[in-house]
Amino acid sequence: MPTAIDPQRRRLLTAGLALGLSGCAARAPFDPFLDLPSLPVAEVFTCGVASGAPQEDAVVLWTQLSRAAVQAAGFEAAEIPVGWELAQDAQFARALRSGIALARAADDYSVHLRVDGLAAHQRYWYRFRSLGAVSATGQTCTTPALWAAVASLKLVVVSGEQNPATWRVITENPPDLLLQLGSGMDADGARDLADYRARYAKRLADADLQAARAACAWLTVVGDAEIARGYAGPFDRHGSDKTRFLQRRAAAYQALFEHLPWAAAQRPQGAQMRLHQRLHWGRLLALHLLDGRQYRDRPDCPALAETSADFACAPVVARAREPGLLGRAQEDWLLQGVSQRAAQWNLIAQIQALLPGAGGGDGWDAFGAQRQRLLQQLLRAQVTDSLWVCQSLGGFAAAPLRLQSQARAQAMEWRAPQAQADEAAPSGGFFELTFTPQSLLVDAIQVLPGGARQVLAREHIRAPGLQRLPLHGALPV
């Protein structure tokens, strides 16, 4: 059982809290526990460090203290001070900012620190210190200013869990941003907050994943696997009581917030959490990340019973309106964002595949009316070229959409392999997207067990408004 805090440590804690409340001073003390004996990093920062939610003048830095380390240090406080430091170089010779953040027991001692007042389109290095240990060093960046001309952007897209070789390849040659389709955590069987927390802690203990999370800023599109497979709004696939399921969803959202670098504004409110996000990379790219689960209606149950148990569905009855996958408010948010035409490229990311037949009865095929309306409105807004990335059966896919007057989409679908359970099998894969004002280069990359990377497919697309390079495999919508 943890011991009571002795008077000297209580004074340290009080001083640390006072510093934390004083704001982000330019050079505030970095270590709130200078006189504590050093603890191994692996015992304190067991989930590593990460960053996300980059903006032109700010970024969110994340870490988490292990409860075991907090108890071993003799603390039972609701808040533990954590020192942080931001620099312009990996050696911290040009330290820029430092201060004290608070790790709260209510958030499983996680830290979501927004550092603002930063320069646009700059790379930074950061680290944390608490309970006598210094974390690994992370690398992150701010985005270019909204209307800035940008020469290029390298974006890596991964889907779900990957084998160690894939994370090592990404770490060795980090992109500007990494987009994750699904958090990679499987919540199947989890029932309460402790279950969800334990699953994240197990997954994030992987050293190769930690290194990849520290290598660049991460963005995440949340699916159903990390909440409850096949859920739709307040319904799970088993037809459980709605009140009970919403309690479970609230626990899942809380654990999701605690273990990813979300901005504080995305903190869940009970069973509600804003998961759709938008990010601009200067004038070059606008990313629209969608939530395909929280606001969806239950689709009609399939006619064949054997296909109806994998997702929440409703008996076929007359409806006052067609079921929707995004919810009307999120659909309007998406259309407003892409209609602004503030960027040369639009990338729309979600778990469900847009193209016909790619998502089974749980995908867009069950919501044909909303899909058709969405494409028609994109056409009216003259959003003539967009890239849609999503998970797909047997892997994940990217589809450049070219809308025509009949509100049909032409696309070439590339698939990248997901990780295999057996390390002897191909280790996994990802998309590497290189955006420039003139073109987009899409590489579907397979990573072999030894770390060698192979380009399985490559497609080169001219920029919107310019002549496109030929596409094949047209798929009507």
Nearest one of 118, 123, 44 to 82, comparing CA atoms? 44
Element (H, E) at 129: strand 123-130
User: For the chain, which residues score pLDDT lower than 70?
Assistant: 1-42, 76, 302-309, 315-321, 355, 357-361, 382-385, 392-427, 463-477
Do 367 and 325 touch, CB atoms closer than 8 A? yes
C-alpha pair distances (Å), 408 with each of 82, 176, 305, 322, 404: 53, 33, 32, 20, 6
- Retrieve residue 321's tokens: 């309106």
**pLDDT digits 0-9 by tens, 434-471:** 999 988 888 888 888 888 888 888 888 776 554 333 33
Q: Residue 440, SS3?
A: strand
C-alpha pair distances (Å), 53 with each of 30, 184, 299, 341: 23, 19, 32, 21
DSSP 360: G
- Give pLDDT, residue 442: 87
Q: What is the dihedral of CA 32, 34, 38, 41, to 10 degrees?
A: 30
- Give pLDDT, residue 15: 42
Sign of CA dihedral 123, 291, 458, 476: negative
Nearest one of 251, 187, 181 to 222, comparing CA atoms? 181
- Retrieve residue 14's tokens: 């009080």
By the 10 Å C-beta count (0-12 exposed, 13-18 middle, 19+ buried), 96 is classed as buried
- How many residues in total does the chain contain? 477
Nearest one of 127, 19, 35 to 73, comparing CA atoms? 35
- Retrieve residue 162's tokens: 């990957």
DSSP 400: E
CA neighbours closer than 13 Å in the CB half-sphere of residue 227: 30
- Give pLDDT, residue 357: 67
Compute the distance between CA of residue 324 and CA of residue 328 in angstroms, rounded to an integer: 8
Compute the distance between CA of residue 294 and CA of residue 122 in angstroms, rounded to an integer: 34
Count of other CB atoms within 10 angstroms of residue 18: 11
Provide the CA 278 distance to its chain's centre, in angstroms.
Answer: 12
- Give pLDDT, residue 216: 98
Provide the CA 462 distance to its chain's centre, in angstroms.
Answer: 28
- Give pLDDT, residue 33: 55
- Give pLDDT, residue 188: 85
pTM: 0.86
- Give pLDDT, residue 207: 96
